[in-house]
Structure 1
Amino acid sequence: MINTMNIDGHQAVTVFDSELDLFRGEFIGLNGGADFYAGDVKGLRHEGAISLQVFLKTCAAKGIEPRKNFSGKTP
């Protein structure tokens, strides 16, 4: 089952990884990968906030727009 979580205004898809015995989250709509793991939901939210801030700071430092732009056209 796939769930979503809103962290600081950004949506993340969350799942439970039974092989790792951890919850995994990955932000959607960003120009790059920003994923995070934790053993419980509270930890997942905390780790997600950290992952998002690192991603956004990196984008700002490189002058990259952090969100994907959707044109509606196929490549």
Structure 2
Amino acid sequence: MTNTMTYKGYSARIEYDDEDGIMTGQIAGIRDGVGFHADSVEELKEAFHEAVDDYVETCAKVGKEPQKPYSGRVMFRVDPEVHRKAALAAELSGKSLNQWAEDVLNRAACGGHPA
């Protein structure tokens, strides 16, 4: 079983550990390894909230800026032919290339369903 939770803009990947009979989570999108675990869904939710709050507080105590959720800026290179086809598809759909790419990435990230 794999699922996700979100709190204060942070997300976590949740997994069930059948061997230990617990659910575990790891805050995603940050370089610091912040994990948590619990026996029930409600306890897991509380543990996740505590992990995020502790992460932000610990960063403040040591004078480190906590990593923020993603900025929304994505830069990547593609083959020029892919770029041409994407630009054409965007224009034909009446959208900017940025809006078209956001829609396509959103559908791909959500398993083919728009979020």
State TM-score, norm by structure 1.
0.81
1:60 aligned counterpart, secondary structure: helix
Greater share of residues in strand: 1
Give the gaps of 5 or more residues in structure 1. Answer: none
Distance 2:45 2:39 in 1: 11
RMSD over aligned CA atoms reads: 2.2
C-alpha displacement at 1:72, in angstroms?
A: 6.2
Residue in 2 that maps onto 1:25: 25
Equivalent pairs, count: 73
Aligned-pair identity in percent equals: 31
State TM-score, norm by structure 2.
0.55
Distance 2:54 2:42 in 1: 19
Q: Of the two structures, which has the highest relative contact order with CA contacts closer than 8 Å and spacing of 6 or more?
A: 1
Distance 2:65 2:32 in 1: 10
- CA deviations on 1:12-69 (whole Å, 9 max, x unpaired) are 0000011110000110112311111111111100011111111111111112122178
Which has the higher Rg, Structure 1 or Structure 2? 2
Residue in 1 that maps onto 2:16: 16
